[in-house]
A and B are shown apart, each in its own frame.
Chain A
């Protein structure tokens, strides 16, 4: 363990800089080392305290190692503990000096006082110096056989520590079988629990190399072991109970009788005051009954009350941990929690992370009977002082509307939001109205009337502006002023910072042109001209594409730009059900909080892309500042999407490709909605595809060489049309291969989309 280095901040008066003090300490310790005067322990204590406090604030006090060891000959237990702590901290950087301590630690391991034996053994194993492991085996072996349970608990963990310092030594000394024996026979439950933790760790690490170890690991979840542990579960401490329950959750019972036996035995654990025990029990129940649908349902009903209690008791952090789990259950079975929606109402002074989860759950449990109340409650939050929460609430209202319950009332509310005249409320509501219209075109008349009265000057956020523009284009026949609003927007082309908005503006003008040609013709010319002169590559390309499309054949152009649209029936989930099941398997762990399976955040291979894309982000920014051509915001937005899409590979973000112009504005949380929409688009416009695709290949200037465009590495070069690729072909190939297959599968529809 490296000593905590002094952080990069100026030393404050209370934190001495170190040097002088350390040498002072050294000489004082030296004086005390040999002395046997009465009361010497008290002065030693003061000095030791100083040393430890320096160590804590990050001053390197390893220089007094020798003196500390010399002073350690004492019978004062507090002194000993301080000394052990110190030695444990610095032994690793001073392996030679650590040898000095072996002697007194070994002597203490044979002390008559079990406390001292335990302490010494723990410290001995905490030295973590590889060349000292030979001194560990003897005391550990004795410790495991000690007649005092405290020493045994320490020794068991000591074996695990030894394994981490030197696995072969631990295996050769035959410690794992000893632990197994202890686990199954020791009268002290803490010893049993520690054996279980140690064996789980050792055998799962060994399992990759040794068949025997993997057999042993399997044996841990065999019937005899599980039953043995379950029968003793009431003796265990709350933490050990969590450990055992976690193991039981992995056990596969033979028949339903066994399942019911286990559940009856564990039933009372749901009443335990420790939330972690309750959650572990719930995990066992859920996993045991997975194959029995009706019992599974009953389990949900049964665990509802304890979960809701846990949520309302304890600190916000604890309720957050519980809420995350409740969240995943609500998402799996919203109907079971539908009548409890009031529990998910937010309280005024709850932290926002709790509120956010509650909002999601409110959205999920909404059904015919409670939609009205829920939406009323959500509307209250829209006026919340906490702006992010207000935004989330409005989004929640929109999501409920998309779930099809009582849309009537909801559309009314959303339109009321538009009238609230708060920028962020208007912005969120606009995005939602746009999504609603895609699903319920029949509402267009009511919505358009209100949307038409919104001044485009009051809408600044790119997403909201894009939504507004999309509606202007899509419903230009119903909106009196549409061409004129588009005209004024086009006049301000230069001032518009967001490429997304400019892309939408282009498309909207095109749509409007086909619906109201005489009024729009002039605007269309202006927009195309502005687009062609645009610095942003995508805007430029799209303008060029429209331009040539119009030149090629106006009626084909109309079919491409204004095809008859079907209403979107379902906005697809962002997460695949496979991933959701993975997370459910890992119930009661971090996966649930992060809402992604553990391999995504613990496995090095999956964390890899993080660093990888970081470096890329720097690269592309460097490239951009070098030629300073591309509007910064666009590139940054792209970078962000890149980071997201590489870190969460399963969610492919449409925004990376900037193909959103054809469809309604995409926002990144609905990556999958892109896919479904793409499918629709590609099917509706399939007729025109063959005729135009070849021409467009040429026209876009993108040969098939640009095909791997979605690979993050290639985006910066693709902006510059591959003239100077950053990656050499070899590296590119390699990185390209690392992408999951799903990406390339999804990519195909994208390509087709780009191409017509």
Chain B
């Protein structure tokens, strides 16, 4: 059985129960107490999201300031359970309109109970599609939509029965203006050495779609990925147009995408759900265009002073710009005083995270701002540990830029009434975990060792 969940709990950070729903009797007594005493109040909390206490297994997940705990007594399917929680949270969010936190739960607990009843019965997941559930569970929920007019009662899952496969879309939708919005959102994960060589790098991207289309439209999306283009030129028996093609390592699609057709023709065709959804996810490891290069240098000036220089180079087009660039440069705990010189943006020392934080609101392409900082350290006797330099971390957003080079070539919409649609496409690249390490800690061979040894010694002296 995939998940025969015995109970589900929503707890706040103190361990108070916000919601509990027991689906089965096979877990004894008050499992939530077991969770509190054996997991929440111990150091074990962060060590593993799956724990066994007595005969029961606990899956737990923290989402903002709420813990969601699923209790099972059998050998359940873990991936399914976590996915269920994630989907359920997405469902709640679509009902609350945004945030999912303790307050939202307290304000909507009747609604949550209602939903919990529908999305899981006796521990088996049922329908979690917001599209369908919103047909009969409304936030106002004043009257049953059916009881007033018994003649035209829309049956839950009606569409499923009629069309056979489109459980995620209602029939009879009408929009005055037919619009589709496509957002290509990529996050770049990077680990770079201080010398600028890339240790590892990958891009995870997703295509988010917002559809406001009437009727039952059939959509087809064309991207500049290699396999798709090759297939197309094969089918049309004409050579691929020159231009950049990219290779996607792996793709996953929303359930609306016709996977059989993707496999045979390599085209992404689908009947979209109404409103917002995630059409596809992909991953790329080869040929990533990095938006930024970071070159840090650090100089130890005696026991209690350091000089940190960081140069950042934006390598995207000169007409583009990045927003919300934040560079966090870790410094030792015993930092006492800092002074900065920056050619762009603002820098300050944040003692709570032990970092120099350099912020640049708008960062044009093809520029090279620098920051130099002087850091003074307190010499303490207590701090004997040497400083394990964590990597420099960077946050940013670059609109209209994709690190993978992915482009939408076309988006075609067919509907039997033949209306015109307006399509909007946006691109944005964000930082995932964009890290630049200070230096190879233990390099290769002997010379590095001695350097390491010296560092350790120096800090000992400081201490």
Contact = CB atoms under 8 A, between A and B. Distances in A.
Given A56-B109, A239-B84, A316 B78 contact: no
Interface string A41-84: 00000000100110011100000000000000001111001100
B453 A419 contact: yes
Given A4-B32, A113-B144, A113-B146, A52 B110 contact: yes
Contact of B110 (A12, A82, A197, A598): A82
Q: Which of B126, B443, B452 has the most CB of A within 10 A?
A: B126
Given A200-B1, A272-B252, A75 B143 contact: yes
A107 to B, nearest CB: 14
Contact of B156 (A150, A267, A379, A420): A150
Nearest to B33: A7
B191 interface: yes
Nearest to A269: B259
Contact of A312 (B114, B144, B283): B283
A131 to B, nearest CB: 16
Contact of A128 (B25, B47, B144, B253): B25
Contacts of A384: 388
A157 B124 contact: yes
A11 to B, nearest CB: 11
A189 interface: yes
Given A243-B2, A276-B77, A316 B278 contact: no
Given A58-B17, A239-B124, A309 B252 contact: yes
A134 interface: no
A170 to B, nearest CB: 14
Question: Which of B2, B29, B117, B191 gathers the greatest number of chain A CB atoms within 10 Å?
Answer: B2
Interface string B139-172: 0011110110010010111001100110100000
B189 interface: yes
Interface stretch (A319-327, A360-368, A473-481): A319-327
B151 to A, nearest CB: 11
Nearest to B150: A112
B301 interface: no
Interface stretch (A175-183, A347-355, A743-751): A347-355
A201 B391 contact: no
A210 interface: no
A102 to B, nearest CB: 20
Contacts of B252: 271-273, 278, 306, 309-310, 313
Contacts of A385: 388, 390
A274 interface: yes
Nearest to A586: B75
Contacts of A269: 259
Where chain A touches its partner, the secondary structure class is: helix
B125 interface: yes
B144 A190 contact: no
A85 B113 contact: yes
Most buried by A among B54, B77, B85, B437: B77
A115 B150 CA distance: 12
Given A160-B122, A321-B78, A267 B263 contact: yes
A320 B49 contact: yes
Interface string B67-81: 000001111111111
Contact of A272 (B4, B161, B204, B259): B259
A205 to B, nearest CB: 12
Contacts of B293: none
B427 interface: no
A413 interface: yes
A392 interface: no
Contact of A115 (B136, B281, B388, B390): B136
Interface residues of A, number: 121
Contact of A114 (B109, B146, B199, B280): B146
A299 interface: no
B34 to A, nearest CB: 11
A309 to B, nearest CB: 4
Given A157-B121, A200-B1, A113 B153 contact: yes
Nearest to A57: B17
Contacts of B4: 197, 201
A372 B114 CA distance: 56
A641 interface: no
A237 B204 contact: no
A349 to B, nearest CB: 6
Contacts of B79: 275-276, 279, 318, 321-322, 325, 588
A190 B19 contact: no
A498 B1 CA distance: 48
B160 A188 contact: yes
A380 B78 contact: no
A172 to B, nearest CB: 21
Nearest to B161: A187
A376 B78 contact: no
A246 interface: yes
B16 A57 contact: yes
B255 A420 contact: no
Given A1-B22, A187-B161, A268-B260, A305 B249 contact: yes
B425 interface: no
A594 interface: yes
A527 interface: no
B200 interface: yes
A697 B2 CA distance: 56
A537 interface: no
B234 interface: no
Nearest to B393: A348
B2 A246 contact: yes
A593 interface: yes
A700 to B, nearest CB: 40
Given A148-B155, A276-B77, A318 B86 contact: yes
A116 B147 contact: yes
A149 B117 contact: no
Q: Which 6 A-B pairs have the closest CB atoms?
A: A268-B259, A276-B80, A239-B125, A379-B442, A598-B75, A305-B250
27 contacts: A12-B16, A49-B110, A56-B20, A78-B142, A113-B146, A154-B121, A194-B124, A237-B125, A239-B3, A239-B80, A272-B255, A273-B254, A276-B83, A313-B252, A318-B83, A318-B86, A321-B50, A321-B78, A372-B444, A376-B442, A377-B199, A383-B388, A413-B442, A416-B449, A419-B453, A594-B50, A607-B55
Interface of B: 1-4, 15-20, 22, 24-25, 29-30, 32-33, 36, 46-50, 52, 54-55, 57, 59-61, 72-86, 109-110, 113-114, 117, 121-122, 124-129, 136, 141-144, 146-147, 150, 153, 155-157, 160-161, 164-165, 167, 189, 191, 199-200, 202, 204, 249-255, 259-260, 262-263, 278, 280-283, 385-386, 388, 390-391, 393, 433, 435, 437, 440-446, 449, 452-453, 456, 460
Interface of A: 1-2, 4-5, 7-8, 12, 15, 49, 52-53, 56-58, 75-78, 81-82, 85, 89, 112-116, 122, 128, 148-150, 153-154, 157, 160-161, 164, 187-190, 194, 197, 200-201, 234-235, 237-239, 242-243, 246, 267-269, 271-276, 278-280, 305-306, 308-310, 312-318, 320-322, 324-325, 342, 345, 347-349, 351-353, 372, 376-377, 379-380, 382-385, 409, 412-413, 416, 419-422, 586, 588-594, 598, 601-602, 604, 607
Given A239-B128, A315-B86, 13 more contacts: A7-B36, A57-B17, A81-B113, A82-B110, A150-B156, A157-B124, A190-B127, A239-B125, A239-B126, A275-B83, A318-B82, A352-B46, A409-B444
